[in-house]
Structure 1
Amino acid sequence: MKIVSWNVNSLNVRLPHLQQWLAAFAPDVVALQETKLEDSRFPDTALAEAGYRSVFAGQKTYNGVAILSREAAQDVQIGIPGFEDEQKRVIAATVGGLRIIDLYVVNGQDVGTDKYAYKLRWLDAVHAWVQDELSRHPDLIVLGDFNIAPEARDTHDPAVWNDSHILTSTAERDALQRLLSLGLHDAFRLFPQEENAFSWWDYRQAGFRRNLGLRIDLTLVSESLRARCVAAGIDREPRTWDRPSDHAPAWVELA
């Protein structure tokens, strides 16, 4: 069973890429972020023709999340329970007995800003919610664009992306570690990986060609799923296409 996270950075622009990639990679579940579409414009008919059912929560121009699956999703949750937020950043559903939480984590702008404080509050709310979800759904996957590079090796230049920089600051990484401490595992790190393996590259300064990237798209699996993980990785191919998303799909395969 292949489960994937992909920040498509506008589904309106990237739908042909998504259709091409679905046909080639044949995932079972795909969690999308930054669809940037109101629900009335979501291409669920086109995706159904590709063999996928969709649940989604979007808004015009910004944010937006969706879960695509070959099997119909059940028990859909939009947003973090008890956390008031107009931004469409969270969707969860149960597919084939797996509880899947799709997150588009707040960027945070810069350390010390109001948006950074909002990011930390948001992550606290996610922690409490995931803790509750784990108590009810032992087979749980939390995946998405986390806007946090877990370790120095997940950045192209740790001297630049240091503990005072957004996406790599101490408080952000601590929040991610608190989430992992609930009993989640970074599936990518369960297997040997090449050095300098990233999932996001800036469009500027030939970032992809020079591999000036960050690994900020994560697939976190619960303890009960750890033994079922047989592979995990990042598919760089779509990043080479014309007018690509700045993110590449991050995936995990379960037996």
Structure 2
Amino acid sequence: MKIATWNVNSLKVRLPQLLDWLERAAPHVVCLQETKLEDHAFPVKALQEAGYESVFAGQKTYNGVAILSRTPQSDVSVGIPGFSDDQKRVLASTIAGIRFVCLYVPNGQAVGSDKYAYKLKWLAALAQWLRLELARHPNMALLGDFNIAPEPRDVHDPALWEGHVLFSEPERAAFRDLLALGFKDAFRLFEQPEKSFTWWDYRMMAFRRNHGLRIDHILLSEPLARSCASCSIERELRKLERPSDHAPVIAELKT
């Protein structure tokens, strides 16, 4: 089973690229972030014609998450239970016995800002909920844009980014708290090329210079981690005309 995550940064803009990639890569399950579409505008028919069932939670202009699957989805839930939040950032469903959670973690704007405080509060609520979910669903996969680079090797210039949003110690500690629940970073289960990133700013020729961060992740519960055969970044999609600023991450599970 191939599973993938991609922050498309506007599904309306990136739909042709998504459909081409789905045909070529043929993932079984895909989690999308920043769809930026209200639910009535979600391209259900186009994705059905491509062979995918969709569940989604969107809003106008910002945020928005979706899970695409080649097989039926059940037990769909939106948001973090008990955490009041109008932003569409969390979507979960069960597919082929695996609980998939699609995440678009808040950016945080700047260390010390109100949005940064919201991000840390949001991450704490997420961890509390996932602790309960993992007890119910031993086979669980978290996929999404976490807006956190976990380690110095996940940042093109750690000294430059140290203490800044996306790479501050409280954010990295929150990521470690997720791992401590019983998850493994699928990408780090394997030897990987140095300077492997998933996001590059549109400005300052960041992609051409490979000035990026690895902030898009697939985290697997212990049973799924043992079945993971590979994990890679689909960097080529960042080279397309009018690309998302993120590249997909794809993992293969032996099921």
Give TM-score, length-normalised by structure 1.
Answer: 0.99
Deviations 1:116-174 (A, max 9, x none): 00000000010011101100000000110000000000000011111x11001010000
Which residue type is aligned with residue 69 of structure 2? S
Structure 2 residue aligned with 1:112: 112
1:187 alignment partner in structure 2: 186
Partner residue, 2:243: 244
Q: CA offsets per residue over residues 22-80 of structure 1, 9 Å max, x none? A: 00100000000000000000001000000000000000000000000000111001000
AA partner of residue 138 (structure 1): P
Letter in 2 for 1:50: A
Amino acid at match of 1:40: H
Q: What is the RMSD of the two structures over their aligned residues, measured on CA atoms?
A: 0.5
Match of 1:171 in 2: 170
Which residue is equivalent to 1:47? 47
CA apart distance, 1:237: 1.2
Distance 1:77 1:129 in 2: 12
Residue 85 (structure 2) aligns with: 85
The CA deviation at 1:245 is 0.2
Q: Secondary structure at the match of 1:153?
A: helix
The answer as to 2:210 corresponding to 1:205 is: no
The match for 1:225 is 224
Corresponding residue for residue 33 of structure 1 = 33
Instruction: Tell me the matched-pair count.
Output: 254
Give the C-alpha shift of residue 212 in structure 1: 0.5
Displacement, 1:227? 1.1
For 2:206 and 2:57, locate their aligned partners in 1 and report how far apart those are by CA, in whole Å: 30
AA in 1 matched with 2:166: L
Q: Which amino acid aligns with 2:173?
A: D
Give CA deviations for 1:85-113 in whole Å, capped at 9, x if unaligned.
Answer: 00000000000110000000000000000
Aligned to 1:97: 97
Q: Distance in 2 between matches of 1:143 and 1:160?
A: 27
In structure 2, the residue corresponding to 1:17 is in which secondary structure?
A: helix
Q: Give the structure 1 partner of residue 135 of structure 2.
A: 135
Distance 1:189 1:132 in 2: 25
Instruction: Give, in whole Å, the separation in 2 of the partners of 1:225 and 1:24.
Output: 24
Structural mapping, 1:63-82, within 5 Å: 63-82=63-82
How far is the alpha carbon of 1:202 from its aligned partner? 0.4
CA distance, structure 2, for counterparts of residue 105 and residue 211 of structure 1: 23
- Give the Å deviation of 1:251: 1.3
SS for the counterpart of 2:209 is coil
Distance 2:54 2:66 in 1: 7
What is the CA–CA distance in structure 2 between the aligned matches of 1:105 and 1:124, rounded to whole Å? 11
Secondary structure at the aligned position of 1:245 is classed as coil
What TM-score do the two structures reach when normalised by structure 2?
A: 0.99
Secondary structure in 1 matching 2:159: coil
TM-superposed deviation, 1:216? 0.1
Residue 201 of structure 1 deviates from its aligned partner by 0.3
Deviation (angstroms), 1:252: 1.1
Secondary structure of the structure 2 residue equivalent to 1:67: strand
Gaps of at least 5 residues in structure 2 are none
CA distance in 2 between partners of 1:113 and 1:64 (Å): 23
Amino acid at match of 1:165: H
Q: Which residue of 2 aligns with 1:157?
A: 157
